[in-house]
């Protein structure tokens, strides 16, 4: 249980924070996310889990946050269990393998405009150039993250509910959102934690949240 809590809490929270920061730096994407929420859910209730399949843009925003700022930037150590050759490199049995997910996620040979926050790249498919490979923001194989499904739902609900309920604004705090990456031990948080103003949207009164 302790492993599930420690592996599941900061990863989801930090990725949600990165996604909000990216949206604040990209107001058009923020408006598009809100328009999708208002169009599919309306303004009389809050997002629920069953809405998520109908919110492709929201999911794309989360994927872009996972791509540009993977909080597990170096996938935890694996070990090769037999000799093999990858792209001409000989990897002997028993070697410790650290996969640099951050570098793969920004590799211009795999992604168009790799450094750009562009949720639209995920529309209708894989996001990568051509069909070069599979994304593995949550690792892969037998030791892949067992919390992927839960994480995508929790982040979608948190982000969706915040965007439905508040006008989000970074300018009010007097500084532009700084996307510098910090080091937090195993994970990669924002160097400067996100600060923003949340102003209640008028629709919140209709949601009956008592705010």
Instruction: Quickly count: other Cβ atoms within 10 Å of residue 14's Cβ.
Output: 21
Is residue 192 close enough to count as binding ligand HEM by CB under 6 A?
A: no
Is residue 11 close enough to count as binding ligand HEM by CB under 6 A?
A: yes
Is residue 75 close enough to count as binding ligand HEM by CB under 6 A?
A: yes
Q: Which of 27, 144 has the CB closer to ligand HEM?
A: 144
How wide is the angle at C-alpha 128 spanned by C-alphas 31 and 150, nearest 5°? 65
* String of contacts with ligand HEM for each residue 35-74, x by CB under 6 A: ------------------------------------xx--
**91: Cβ–Cβ under 8 A, 6 or more apart, which residues?**
80, 83, 84, 85, 97
Q: Choose the stretch contacting ligand HEM; rule: CB under 6 A; options: 9-17, 32-40, 117-125, 191-199.
A: 9-17
Is residue 188 close enough to count as binding ligand HEM by CB under 6 A?
A: no
Query: Of 207, 73, 66, whose CA–CA distance to 135 is shortest?
Result: 66
Residues in the chain: 211
Is residue 93 close enough to count as binding ligand HEM by CB under 6 A?
A: no
Instruction: Quickly count: other Cβ atoms within 10 Å of residue 71's Cβ.
Output: 23
Is residue 147 close enough to count as binding ligand HEM by CB under 6 A?
A: yes
Is residue 80 close enough to count as binding ligand HEM by CB under 6 A?
A: no
| Residue 61 contacts residue 155 (beta carbons within 8 Å) | no
Question: Exposed (0-12), middle (13-18) or buried (19+): which is 193, by Cβ within 10 Å?
Answer: exposed
* Alpha-carbon dihedral 130, 132, 136, 141, rounded to 10 degrees: 140
Q: Binding ligand HEM by CB under 6 A: which of 25, 52, 146, 178? A: 146
Least distance CB 204 / ligand HEM (angstroms)? 27
Is residue 26 close enough to count as binding ligand HEM by CB under 6 A?
A: no
Is residue 145 close enough to count as binding ligand HEM by CB under 6 A?
A: yes
Is residue 19 close enough to count as binding ligand HEM by CB under 6 A?
A: no
Q: Which residues bind ligand HEM (CB under 6 A)?
A: 3-4, 7-8, 11-12, 15, 71-72, 75-76, 137-140, 143-147, 150-151
């Amino acid at each position: 249980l302790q492993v599930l809590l420690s592996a599941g809490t900061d990863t989801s929270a930090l990725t949600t924070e990165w996604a909000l920061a990216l949206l604040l730096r990209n107001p058009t994407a923020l408006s598009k996310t809100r328009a999708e929420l208002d169009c599919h859910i309306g303004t009389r209730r809050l997002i629920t889990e069953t809405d998520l399949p109908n919110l492709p843009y929201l999911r794309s925003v989360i994927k872009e946050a996972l791509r540009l700022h993977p909080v597990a930037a170096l996938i935890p150590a694996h070990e090769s269990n037999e000799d093999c050759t990858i792209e001409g490199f000989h990897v002997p049995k028993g070697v410790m393998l650290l996969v640099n997910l951050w570098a793969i996620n920004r590799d211009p040979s795999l992604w168009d405009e790799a450094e750009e926050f562009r949720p639209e790249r995920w529309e209708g498919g894989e996001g990568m150039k051509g069909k070069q490979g599979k994304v593995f923001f949550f690792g892969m194989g037998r030791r892949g993250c067992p919390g992927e499904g839960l994480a995508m739902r929790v982040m979608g609900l948190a982000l969706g509910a915040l965007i439905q309920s508040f006008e989000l604004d970074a300018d009010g705090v007097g500084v532009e959102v700084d996307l510098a990456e910090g080091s937090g031990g195993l994970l990669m948080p924002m160097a400067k934690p996100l600060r923003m103003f949340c102003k209640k949207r008028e629709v919140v009164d209709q949601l009956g949240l008592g705010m």
